[in-house]
Amino acid sequence: MTGSGDRPETASDKRAIRLAMKAALQQADPSTSTTLCDRLYARLRTLAPSRIACVWPMPDEVDLRPLSHRLHEQGWQILMPETPPKGSPLLFRQWDPDCPMREGRFGTVCPDGPIDVPDVVLVPMLAFDRRGYRLGYGGGYYDRTLAALPDACAIGYAFSVQEVPHIPVGPFDVPLPVIVTEKEDIIPAENLQP
């Protein structure tokens, strides 16, 4: 077993998908971020304004900054993650358009604001499948965070080019209830097995 609890062959398969997706994302059209943000907004506007965890983008990721501004204008409290030492869940700090930002771990950027707890978590990913399984960067931060926030509404998001036929899953992988792309909202069937 690896440190994530994955069997060696599962860990190897995940590494291969990560490498393929990093290359695919460099070819993705960044303008599709706008369409994806519009689709996320349409899904979120059915909820009462609350505390939502967005993400400041890294290179080649979906850019949620326009969505963060739009939601902030609609009365949502925007939180952004701070990456703590490995083995811990993410911390979420309050963000507003005028707050100072600072560099975090692994090239991330986070607000220099108070810590808060989100009601809704937008979950980034490198790859996903139609069963709702996602593949992140390999640190397990979102897996630990979602396990620590069982009442939070989790919504995955990615470009449609990040879909793969099958994400290999380990013992701690849990499917997301919904994944939003620039083309569609994917609601995995409840009875699909890994």
Which has the closest alpha carbon to 12: 140, 106, 156, 138? 138
How far apart are the C-alpha atoms of 11 and 140, rounded to whole Å? 12
How far apart are the C-alpha atoms of 80 and 55, rounded to whole Å? 5
Between CA 79 and CA 109, with CA 85 as vertex, the angle to 5 degrees is 40
Per-residue pLDDT, 3: 43
Tokens of 107: 């090239």
Answer yes or no: pTM beyond 0.85: yes
Cβ atoms of residues 43 and 155 within 8 Å: yes
Per-residue pLDDT, 2: 39
Which has the closest alpha carbon to 137: 35, 58, 27, 32? 58
Burial status of residue 168 (CB atoms within 10 A of its CB: 0-12, 13-18, 19 or more)? buried
Per-residue pLDDT, 189: 66
How far apart are the C-alpha atoms of 158 and 170, rounded to whole Å? 21
Per-residue pLDDT, 72: 96
Cβ atoms of residues 160 and 183 within 8 Å: yes
Which has the closest alpha carbon to 76: 124, 33, 123, 119? 119
Written as tens digits, the pLDDT of the chain (194 aa) is: 334 567 777 777 888 888 777 777 767 777 888 999 999 999 999 888 899 999 988 777 889 999 999 999 999 999 999 988 888 899 999 999 999 988 877 777 889 989 999 999 999 999 999 999 999 877 788 989 999 999 999 999 999 989 999 998 877 788 999 999 999 999 986 535 44
Angle between helices 65-73 and 32-44 (to 10 degrees): 30
Per-residue pLDDT, 39: 96
